[in-house]
C-alpha cells in the first residue's frame, strides 16, 4: 500500500503565496506538483485564527504527527469483540469491513455465522490490519486468532536414479535409442511403411598386438 508523502515547508509556502495571489486550487496544485485534494485540505486542517501561514501550518502538522494515535479497536470493546470473532473464523480484514458496512446500511442483514452483533459500528480494513500487527508477539494466538500463512507444504524431494547421476550429460540420461546405420552410412527405410529399420553391422575384430622390438 502506497504511503502518502506529507507536505514540506517549501510546498506550504507555495500554497500560501498562491492563496494570497488569488490562484485556484488546481493551479496551485499543478505548480506544487501535488494532488488538488491535498492542496484543498491543507488550509482547512492547518489554518489558524489569522489565516493560513506556512510556518504555523508546518508546526501544527508536526505536532499532529507526534501525538499518540489511539486505535479504534482499543477504545470500542463491542467492535473489538466482533473483529476478533471474525478473525477466529478465518475472515480477512476486507471481508470484515465490508460486512460491517453492509450491516450498518441495512438492518435486515443477519449476522454471519460465528460473528457477534456490532450495533451498527463500522471500521476500515486498514484499521483492522494496523490493529492486527500492533499487539506483541503471541498475543493474537492467546486470543485464539491464527492468521493464515501463504506458505505451501513442501513435497517430497525426488531422488535421482543411481544409474543416471545428476552430473551426467543429457544425452547419457536419454532413453531414446538412435537407429543403427547401414553400410552406406544412413538408416534404411522400409518400402511399405514410414518406419525405419536398422541394419546390424559386424563388430570389427581386435588386432593382434605387435611383438616387442628386440
Q: Does 31 map to a domain?
A: yes
Question: Do 53 and 100 fall within a single domain?
Answer: no
pLDDT at 1: 41
Question: Do 53 and 82 fall within a single domain?
Answer: no
Report the C-alpha gap between 53 and 48 in whole angstroms.
8
Question: Do 90 and 129 fall within a single domain?
Answer: yes
C-alpha grid cell, residue 198: 536398422
| Other Cβ atoms within 10 Å of 171 Cβ, number | 7
Q: Does 197 map to a domain?
A: no
Expressed as residue numbers, the domain containing 108 is: 72-142
Question: Do 57 and 89 fall within a single domain?
Answer: no
Domain count, the chain: 2
55-66 pLDDT tens trace: 899 988 888 777
Report the C-alpha gap between 132 and 153 in whole angstroms.
25
Final residue belonging to a domain, choices 92, 120, 142? 142
Cβ(45)–Cβ(72) below 8 Å: no
Q: Does 77 map to a domain?
A: yes
pLDDT (average), residues 72-92 = 90
Question: Do 137 and 82 fall within a single domain?
Answer: yes
Q: How confident is the model at residue 140 (pLDDT cuts 50, 70, 90)?
A: confident
- For residue 76, pLDDT over 50 is answered with yes
Global pTM reads 0.43
Question: Do 15 and 48 fall within a single domain?
Answer: yes
% of the chain surpassing 70 pLDDT: 68
| Other Cβ atoms within 10 Å of 173 Cβ, number | 13
Final residue belonging to a domain, choices 116, 142, 168? 142
Q: Does 170 map to a domain?
A: no
Q: Does 154 map to a domain?
A: no
Report the C-alpha gap between 99 and 83 in whole angstroms.
11
pLDDT at 194: 53
Q: Does 51 map to a domain?
A: yes
Final residue belonging to a domain, choices 122, 142, 162? 142
pLDDT at 6: 84
Question: Do 37 and 58 fall within a single domain?
Answer: yes
Q: Does 38 map to a domain?
A: yes
160-177 pLDDT tens trace: 665 555 555 554 555 555
Amino acid at each position: 500500500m502506497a504511503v502518502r508523502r506529507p507536505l514540506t515547508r517549501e510546498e506550504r509556502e507555495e500554497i500560501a503565496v498562491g492563496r494570497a495571489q488569488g490562484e485556484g486550487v488546481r493551479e496551485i496544485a499543478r505548480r506544487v506538483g501535488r494532488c488538488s485534494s491535498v492542496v484543498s485540505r491543507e488550509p482547512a486542517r492547518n489554518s489558524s485564527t489569522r489565516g493560513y501561514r506556512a510556518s504555523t501550518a508546518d508546526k501544527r502538522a508536526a505536532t499532529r504527527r507526534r501525538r499518540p494515535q489511539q486505535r479504534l479497536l482499543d477504545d470500542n470493546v463491542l467492535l473489538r469483540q466482533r473483529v476478533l470473532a471474525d478473525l477466529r473464523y478465518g475472515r480477512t480484514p476486507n471481508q470484515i469491513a465490508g460486512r460491517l458496512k453492509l450491516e450498518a446500511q441495512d438492518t435486515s442483514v443477519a449476522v454471519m455465522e460465528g460473528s457477534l452483533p456490532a450495533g451498527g459500528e463500522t471500521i476500515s480494513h486498514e484499521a483492522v490490519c494496523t490493529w492486527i500487527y500492533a499487539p506483541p508477539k503471541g498475543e493474537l494466538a492467546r486470543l485464539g486468532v491464527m492468521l493464515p500463512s501463504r506458505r505451501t507444504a513442501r513435497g517430497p524431494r525426488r531422488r535421482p536414479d543411481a544409474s543416471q547421476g545428476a552430473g551426467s550429460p543429457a544425452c547419457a540420461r536419454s532413453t531414446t535409442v538412435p537407429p543403427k546405420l547401414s553400410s552406406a552410412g544412413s538408416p534404411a527405410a522400409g518400402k511399405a511403411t514410414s518406419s525405419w529399420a536398422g541394419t546390424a553391422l559386424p563388430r570389427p575384430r581386435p588386432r593382434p598386438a605387435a611383438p616387442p622390438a628386440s
